[in-house]
């Protein structure tokens, strides 16, 4: 069982690494693609994982920002994220982790209530972002926000820290 720790590796020069954790493959892929389309001074890398713990045999860079993606249409997605949370070191939650809830736009399809996510985020003292990933405009805005957060977490923004 490998617990994810924020500072167990040396940061790469001018690189920022984002780890997206969630069960919905299509969702993760979309997020990753939109993220990388953003122009950014630092070099961006995105890792996608279904759940934690991550396989231990891979040489992996330091994770700067950890985003848990929950699909509000799927209880399975929430359960998987809750289980993954056990494998994260507590210091991640000092600003290096956040929750992303997708699919809030289609109320009738939601089987997870928004309040559940908000309570979860509150318990872990991390921000939660709601996004409807089906609209291109929203996706782009969300990507921009996350890239900004990533840069701060990686220490690439002068005089701002996570």
Partner 1 sequence: MDETIAEFIRRTILKIPMSEMMTVLEAWNFLSESQLQTLNLRQRKDSLAQSVVLLCEEKCASLSDAALLDIVCEDLDLFDIEQFKSSFKKILQRALRNVTVSFRDAEENAVWIRIAWGTQYTKPNQYKPTYVVYYSHTPYAFTSSSRLKSNIPLLGQALTVASKHHQIVKMDLRSRYLDSLKAIVFKQYNQNFEIHNPTAPLQERSVGLDINTDSRIIHENAVEKDKVQRITQETFGDYPQPRLEFAQYKFWKAAMLTTTPQTPTQSLQFHNRFLETKFKSDLNGGILADREEPLRCLIKFSSPHLLEALKSLAPAGIADAPLSPLLTCIPSRGMNYFKIRDK
What are the residues binding partner 1 (CB under 8 A)? 19, 22-26, 29, 32-33, 36, 43-51, 54-55, 58, 60, 74, 76-77
Rounded to 5 degrees, φ, ψ at 125 are 55, 40
- Closest CB 46 distance from partner 1, rounded Å: 5
Pick the closer one to partner 1 by CB: 47 or 114. Answer: 47
Pick the closer one to partner 1 by CB: 36 or 62. Answer: 36
DSSP string covering 107-140: GGG--S-HHHHHHHHHHTT--EEEE-TTSHHHHH
Task: Please return the burial class of 157, using the count of CB atoms within 10 Å of its CB with bins 0-12, 13-18 and 19+.
Answer: middle
- Closest CB 71 distance from partner 1, rounded Å: 8
Pick the closer one to partner 1 by CB: 29 or 123. Answer: 29
Lookup result for tokens 């494998």: 87
Pick the closer one to partner 1 by CB: 15 or 118. Answer: 15
- Closest CB 125 distance from partner 1, rounded Å: 25
Give the single-character DSSP code of 48.
E
């Amino acid at each position: 069982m490998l617990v994810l720790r924020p500072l167990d590796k040396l940061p790469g020069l001018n690189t920022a690494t984002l780890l997206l954790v969630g069960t919905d493959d299509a969702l993760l892929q979309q997020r990753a693609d939109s993220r990388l389309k953003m122009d950014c001074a630092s070099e961006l890398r995105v890792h996608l994982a279904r759940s934690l713990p991550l396989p231990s045999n891979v040489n992996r860079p330091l994770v700067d920002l950890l985003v848990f993606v929950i699909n509000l249409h799927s209880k399975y997605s929430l359960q998987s994220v809750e289980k993954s949370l056990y494998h994260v070191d507590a210091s991640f939650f000092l600003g290096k982790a956040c929750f992303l809830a997708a699919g809030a736009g289609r109320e009738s399809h939601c089987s997870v209530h928004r309040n559940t996510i908000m309570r979860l985020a509150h318990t872990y003292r991390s921000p939660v972002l709601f996004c409807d990933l089906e609209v291109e405009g929203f996706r782009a805005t969300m990507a921009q926000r996350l890239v900004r957060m990533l840069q701060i977490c990686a220490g690439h923004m002068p005089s701002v820290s996570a």
